[in-house]
A and B are shown apart, each in its own frame.
Chain A
């Protein structure tokens, strides 16, 4: 079974700063996907970034990038030049490639960007 752990319940930074959200996971699978989802106060979950475990190169999407450390089973999200609209709950999630299609989520990190 896959498990995902986010150890930072809340974080707060000033606008334009860089912030890193931590995530560790455990799986017995050799291939899997990892995701970061954003859930703003309106509650609609939005995909921020995804990483295929077989790819060594870290995924990037504009101001969002990940630091994927497969051996350490770590998958952190870095948000550069943070904006007020980045305020949200952020969830780390994993999914098997071949088996179950379900997403397994961490507990979430509440990120607040202050003006």
Chain B
């Protein structure tokens, strides 16, 4: 079946602009994660949804970052008033998270959105 998809793949924004990044998880996956990956670094956690509930947003770097998953499937990460330090690849991951089945917590990643803020 289809994997995790993200759009756009590349986004260039001028400093101060708002951007919206979309994630389509694997169909039926309960959990959805957003990570931020700076150039040459490992991904860092931003936020986590279980269905439509945002259970953990401890990694969001500022109140300019906002994420939603209103119907428990597609998610959008919004960054307001972008700054140069927001330039990074934003990765989305999903997992089935059926606690009765081993291995269903494996996170499957999308290709990422590369955001460049000028």
Contact = CB atoms under 8 A, between A and B. Distances in A.
Interface of A: 4, 6, 33, 37, 42-47, 50, 91, 93, 95, 100-108
A106 B59 contact: no
B43 interface: yes
Task: Bin the interface of chain B by size.
Answer: 20 to 34
A107 to B, nearest CB: 5
Interface string B60-96: 0000000000000000000000000000010101000
Contacts of A105: 42-44
Nearest to A4: B42
Given A91-B43, A100-B48, A101-B33, 20 more contacts: A4-B42, A42-B111, A43-B112, A44-B3, A44-B109, A44-B111, A44-B112, A47-B106, A47-B107, A50-B103, A91-B42, A100-B56, A101-B31, A101-B48, A101-B56, A102-B48, A103-B45, A106-B42, A107-B41, A108-B42
Contact of B33 (A6, A102, A107): A102
B65 to A, nearest CB: 15
Contacts of B52: none
A77 B48 CA distance: 28
Contacts of A102: 33, 45, 48, 56, 59
A33 B35 CA distance: 18
Contacts of A50: 103, 106
A107 B41 CA distance: 5
Q: Which of B41, B42, B89, B93 has the most CB of A within 10 A?
A: B42
B43 A101 contact: no
Contacts of B111: 42-44
7 contacts: A44-B110, A46-B109, A93-B42, A102-B56, A103-B45, A105-B44, A106-B42
B91 A45 contact: yes
Contacts of A104: 45
A36 to B, nearest CB: 12
Nearest to B106: A47
Contacts of A108: 40-42
